[in-house]
Amino acid sequence: MDATSLEEEQVAAAAAAADNLDEEVEQGEEGEEEATPVVLKKGPWTTAEDALLVNHVRQHGEGNWNAVQRITGLLRCGKSCRLRWTNHLRPNLKKGAFSPDEELLVAQLHAQLGNKWARMATHLPGRTDNEIKNYWNTRAKRRQRAGLPMYPPEVQLPLAITKRCRYADFSPPQQSAGGNVLDATDAGFKLHPGGNKSEGELLKDDDDIGTLFDMIIPKAFPMTEPAPPAMVTNHSGNSISQHGSDDHNVNLNVDHLPVISSEQDWVLDGACQWNNMSGIC
């Protein structure tokens, strides 16, 4: 069902629903003390409730959610109404599985923003913060269980480089048993284990970090607004803001990210975008 027909159906149902609900409310109020607080409903929304809410928003616009109950008689709290509207009823919502492009964008955004689902949602038209959160948590859990890194290489590599370049002074990176080499040849960098001073000098200031991201991350997903800098946690657990913005401090602990050992784990294919292990991503 497309958005238009859904809306039409909702509006059509609204009138009937409103009548029914009015009756219910009246019956509920009958014989009650005036001071008795309205018992608000919880749990899944019915089509009738949806229709009422849609109708209300059409008439009064979004916002003032606490007035919805008063005006429509809908037995839901404002919070619940706002959530229902935002996540399910508002127009132009995109439902269904995330596309490969969206998956990669979510990973990229998560790497930059951390668990700022609402901010991430602003970059994914039609997707809600709740949807993104659910998507990410589900896959994160799955990947964690499978022992796979959280991020695809396009996202993970800049993070790893950033971490090793900038925070070598705080705590020298541990060289993995395999003696891994971060090879960002596409970006013109080649880093070797050890985190020595020359590595740290590769990226001297904050702008270089952003530049590195720009160089490595594909341009397929232009940001509608510049993403705030991530706050990276060093090995001691101290947070260091990359740009010093108080407004959007994002705690992004990259310590759990394993150093990329091979590209083998990240072969892109249709069924599983981030690796070659079916059913994991």
Residues that bind DNA (CB under 7 A): 41-45, 62-66, 76, 78-80, 82-84, 87-88, 115-119, 129-131, 133-135, 137-138, 141-142, 145
Whether the Cβ atoms of residue 189 and residue 253 lie closer than 8 Å to each other: no
Cβ proximity to DNA: between 129 and 265 the closer is 129
- The distance of closest approach from Cβ of residue 75 to DNA in the complex, given in angstroms and rounded to an integer, is 10
Cβ proximity to DNA: between 118 and 202 the closer is 118
- The distance of closest approach from Cβ of residue 182 to DNA in the complex, given in angstroms and rounded to an integer, is 28
Whether the Cβ atoms of residue 104 and residue 74 lie closer than 8 Å to each other: no
Closest CA to 252 of 109, 104, 113: 113
Cβ proximity to DNA: between 42 and 256 the closer is 42
Cβ proximity to DNA: between 55 and 80 the closer is 80
231-233 β-sheet, strand order:
239-241, 231-233, 251-253
For the chain, count helices (H), then strands (E). 10, 3
Cβ proximity to DNA: between 42 and 197 the closer is 42
Strands in the chain per DSSP E: 231-233, 239-241, 251-253
Residue written as tokens 């022992």?
A: 147
- The distance of closest approach from Cβ of residue 46 to DNA in the complex, given in angstroms and rounded to an integer, is 8
Dist. CA 244–CA 157, nearest whole Å: 23
- The distance of closest approach from Cβ of residue 32 to DNA in the complex, given in angstroms and rounded to an integer, is 22
- The distance of closest approach from Cβ of residue 88 to DNA in the complex, given in angstroms and rounded to an integer, is 5
